[in-house]
Structure 1
Amino acid sequence: MKYVNHMEFQRKSFQVSELFKGGYNMQKILQELKVKSGFNTKQKAEEFAATLIHELNQGTYLEETDKIFSDFTKEWLPVYSEAKDVKPGTIRVREHEISKLLPYFSQLKLKDINRKMYQDALNDLKDQGYSDSTRDGVNHTGRMIFRKALELELIKKDPTEFAYVKKDKKTIEQLEEEEVPKYLEKEELALFLNTAKEHGLEHDYLMYLVLSYTGIRVGELVALKWKDVDFVNHTISITKTYYNPSNNALKFQLVTPKTRKSRRKIIVDEEVIEALKEHKKVQERVIERLGTIYFNHDFIFAKMERQFGYPIIIKNVRDRMKRLLRIASLNEDLTPHSLRHTHTSLLAEAGVSLEQIMDRLGHTNDQITKNVYLHVTQEMKKEASLKSSLNS
C-alpha cells in the first residue's frame, strides 16, 4: 500500500527547517511533497523530504517545468536550427523523427517522462517494424531534445541517458547483401547510357552521363550552373545543392553542400565536356527563341518545355531513370544515387586510390564507398590470380 500521509513528513520538514532557522523555502518543499502523491514506504517518503531539504540548503534545488513534450519540441526546433545552422532538409528529418515520439509523449510533462517510458517507446517502434536506421534517428533526436531540457534546467534527469536501440542479429547473407550496395557494372552502364541516348527524354542522356562519370549527388547535379564548368581545364565545381521538398519546380532553394568536404572541384573527361558543349548550344537557341519567357538563371539542367529555365526537379531524375532501366531490362531498384557507387567501381577498377575516390565524391569517411571499393579490388585480385594460374 502506498504511503500517502503527507502531514507526517510535512511536520518533519518543518522540524528540520527550524533547525536551520528558516533557511529553506518551505513553500517549495510542501509543493514538491504535494506533487509526489505516494511512496512505497514511510521511510522513502521521509528520505524524499530530507533530500529535498538538503538540495535547498546546498543551492542545488531545481524546480522542474510543467511544460509538456509537444510544446517543448516546438521551442527546441528553431533553437537547434539556429545554433547548428542546419539545412532545411535536416530540419525536415528532425520533424519526422519528433513525429515518431509524439504518440508516446505528446501531452506528458517533460519531468514525468522517465527512462522506462522512453525505452518502451523505442522498443514499441521496433515492434511496429521501423528500421534500425529510423529508430537510431528517432533516438538521436530524442537525446538532443532532453539534453537541451536538462541544459536549461527544466528537468532533473535525462530519460534518454541509458536508452538503446534494439537490433536483431543479421544472417551472413543479410550482412553480405548490405555491405555492397547495388550498382551498374561497366557493361550494364554502357547499355543504360545507350538506352538513355536512344530513348531518353529531355536532358536524360547528359544527366546520367554526368552522374556516372563524376559521381556527384543528384541534388548537386540539378543545382549546376554554367559558371561552375571550366571548359578549358575540364573541371566542374560543386558549390551548392538543390532543395525542394514540395517538388514544385517554381519553389526551389539552393543551399550549401551536404558537408564542408562536399565543396570540391572535379576533373572530368573529354566525353562529358563535349556533351555539355552540345547541350549549351541547344539551350542557347531555346533562350534566344523564348526571350524573357525563359527563366534565365544559368542552370545547366533547365526545363525547356514547360516552366522554361527552371531547374529540373530531383523526382524527375529518379522517375526517368526507372523508366530507362525498365526499357533496358536492368534492375529497376537502382536510383541516381546508385550511379555514385557505379562511379566508385569504375575508379577502383581504373586503379584510383580510395583516398582520391573519397575526395572526388566529397566524403570524409563513408563505409559504403569503402565496401564498394574493397569489393571491386578483391574481384580484380581474384581475376588476376585466376589468369596467373591459367598461364602457369
Structure 2
Amino acid sequence: MAKLITDLELKSRIKDVKGNIKKGEYSQKEISCGSGLSLIIGKHTSTFRLQFIPKGHKSKVSKTIGEYPNISLAQAFKKSNEIRATYTEEKKAPLFSEYWNTWIDYYKNNVTKKTVQKTQSYYNKQLCKFNDFRLDEIEPQLVLDVFNSLEGISPSNKHDAICMLQQCLEYAQISLHLIDLNKPLLRGLIKYNFKRPSKEHMLWIHAEELKEKFFEMLDKETDKYRLFYLLCVLTGLRDGNINALKWSDIDFSNTESKYGVITISKENMKESENGDYKQPLTKYTSILLKRWKEQNYRDGDIYVFSGIRDKNKPLKIDYFRETIRAKEMNNYMTLHGLRTTFSTYMAQVEHKQGFNRDRIEEILAHKPKNISDVSRIYNQCGYLPEKMEILTYWHKYIVENQLTESYLELLQK
C-alpha cells in the first residue's frame, strides 16, 4: 500500500502545483494522497477524489469526496473509509419492503404530491410483490415473471410501475451503493417486454365531425353528463381537470375578464411547473356554469360535478368515460382526444385570425415552446384578453355549427 501523505506534505505539494499552474505549465494536476485518495488541484479549487476496485467487483469506483480546505485531509480519509465500507462483499442489500419508504422520502422532494400518490398506488397494487426480495435479488427474469402473473393491470400501468421500480433501484445503486454498479437493472426489460403501449387517448375526430360523432351520440344523456361533455369540448382542458373542477375555482366576478375566470391550482395540473392555470370564461361557459349552479347547487357542494353519495368528492370520472366506451365511440375518439380536436382546428385558422400559438398552447395547459423557463417565472401576465378572443371564436363555431338541440338547451338562460 502506498504511503499516506501527511497534512504538512500536502500543503507543500499544493503550493508547488499552484505555482506551476500560475506559470502556465498545466491547468490542473492530480496528486496521490495514498489508499486510493487523490487531490485534483486546479487554478481556483482543489477537490478530493477516491478511486478503488471493491472486493468482488470488476470495475473501478470513482467518488468525489469534497473540496479542500473545506474538508481536511483527515476528514477526506475518514469519508473514504466510510465509502469503502458500503462496498464490502458481506454487506447485504435490504429487503424491498424495508427500502421502499427510504425511496419515497427521497422521491417526494422532487415531484408533486399527486405524483407521489400515484407512485404509492403502483406499490400497493404491483410493486409490493417484491417485498420479500432483497434489492440485489430483483433481476429482470423475476420482474418478468411477477408482472406476467398480474391480472387486471393494463399494459400502460405495468409499464409505468416497472419504470418506477427502475428509478427506485437506480437510486439504491448509484446514490446508496446498495447494488452492484455493473448491474444492468431493468432497462432492457422495459424496452423489449413492457414498452409503453400506443395511447388510446390519441384517437380524435375533426371539429367538423363533432355533431355527428360526438354530440348526437351523447344527445340523450342527463344534463350533468351533457354539461361535462360540452365543457370538455369548449375549454380544451383534460377530462380529469373538468371532473375535479371546484366551485371555488370559478370566479364569475373576477375583473380580469368580462365574464369571470377559471383558476386551477398548479398542484392539480399535469404541467405543474407552469404555475396556476387561468382560463377566461366566455359568454357561453359563463351561462353554462351559472345556470348549472342555480339549478343544482346544494349548500356545501365543493365540486361542480359532486359525487352521488359524498358531495365532498367529485363524481368518479370512469362514469363519464364508460359512457363513451359503452357506445363504442372509443373506436374512433376519446375525451382526451378532444384536446387534439381543438388544437387542430385552431391550427387551421390561427394565421388568418391572427391568433398567437403560444396562447393556444396555454389554453391546453401546455408549456409554450417560444417561452423559456426563466421568462415564464418572471412573466406572470395571464394573457386573458388574447385567450378570451381565441376561446370565443372556438365557442361560437361550436355553438353555431356543431351542437344538437339538447345541448343548445343547456345554454338557454
Q: Could you say which TM-score interval applies, normalised by the shorter chain?
A: 0.5 to 0.7
Q: Residue 118 of structure 2 is aligned with which of 89, 92, 114?
A: 92
Amino acid corresponding to residue 283 of structure 1 in structure 2: N
Partners in 1 of 2:318 and 2:186 — Cα distance?
Answer: 40
Paired letter, 2:122: H
Indicate conservation of the 8 Å contact 1:184/1:339, yes or no. yes
**1:364 equivalent in alignment to 2:367:** yes
Determine if contact 1:118/1:160 at 8 Å carries over to the other structure: no
Q: 2:264 aligns with which of 239, 245, 269?
A: 239
Report the residue type matching 1:219 in the other structure.
Answer: G
State how far apart, in whole Å, the 1-side matches of 2:292 and 2:115 are.
Answer: 30
Contact kept, 8 Å, 1:217 with 1:340, in 2: the verdict is: yes
Query: Is residue 251–residue 261 contact of structure 2 (8 Å, CA) maintained in 1?
Result: yes
1:1-392 correspondence runs (5 A): 59=81, 60-63=83-86, 65-93=91-119, 95-96=121-122, 106-110=131-135, 112-113=136-137, 118-120=139-141, 131=155, 134-135=158-159, 138-148=162-172, 150-155=174-179, 157=181, 159-160=183-184, 163-164=187-188, 165-167=190-192, 181-191=202-212, 192-196=214-218, 198-231=219-252, 233-240=258-265, 256-258=268-270, 259-261=272-274, 263-284=276-297, 287=298, 294-297=299-302, 299-302=303-306, 307=310, 310-323=313-326, 326=327, 330-331=329-330, 334-351=333-350, 352=355, 354-364=357-367
Contact map agreement 2:205 2:338 (CA 8 A) in 1:
yes
CA distance in 1, matches of 2:208, 2:128: 49
- Residues 158 and 148 (structure 1 numbering): CA distance in 2 closer, same or farther, change over 3 Å? farther
The structure whose residues are more often helix, as a share, is 1
CA contact (8 A) 1:184 1:342 kept: yes
Aligned Cα root-mean-square deviation (Å): 4.6
SS of 2:262's partner is strand
For residues 255-306 of structure 1, the C-alpha deviation after alignment (integer angstroms, 9 at most, x for no partner) is 532222262211343222222222122125xx3xxxxxx4433x32235x65
TM-score (normalised: structure 1)? 0.56
Please give the per-residue CA displacement for 1:138-170, whole angstroms capped at 9, x wherever unaligned: 1453233342454234445363479434349x9
Higher-strand-fraction structure: 2
Identity %: 19
The residue matched to 1:61 in structure 2 has which SS? helix
CA contact (8 A) 1:302 1:310 kept: yes
- Any conservation in 2 of the 1:262–1:361 contact (CA below 8 Å)? no
Deviations 1:151-199 (A, max 9, x none): 234445363479434349x9xxxx9x87992113223322323554x41
Secondary structure, counterpart of 1:62 in structure 2: helix
TM-score by length of 2: 0.53
Would the aligned equivalents of 1:213 and 1:268 in 2 still touch at CA under 8 Å? no
Give the 3 Å change call, closer, same or farther, for CA 334–238 of structure 1 in structure 2: farther
Rounded to whole Å, the distance in 2 between the matches of 1:269 and 1:338 is 22
**Once the 2 structures are TM-superposed, how far is the Cα of residue 216 of structure 1 from its aligned partner?**
1.0
- Which amino acid is 1:61 matched to? R
The farther-off stretch of 154-163 and 203-212 is 154-163
Q: Structure 1 regions of 5+ residues with no counterpart?
A: 1-15, 21-46, 242-254, 288-293, 367-392
- Secondary structure at the aligned position of 2:304 is classed as coil
Kindly indicate whether the alpha-carbon contact (under 8 Å) linking 2:201 and 2:335 is maintained by their aligned counterparts in 1: no
Q: Report the CA distance shift for 1:109/1:180 in structure 2 as closer, same or farther (over 3 A).
A: closer
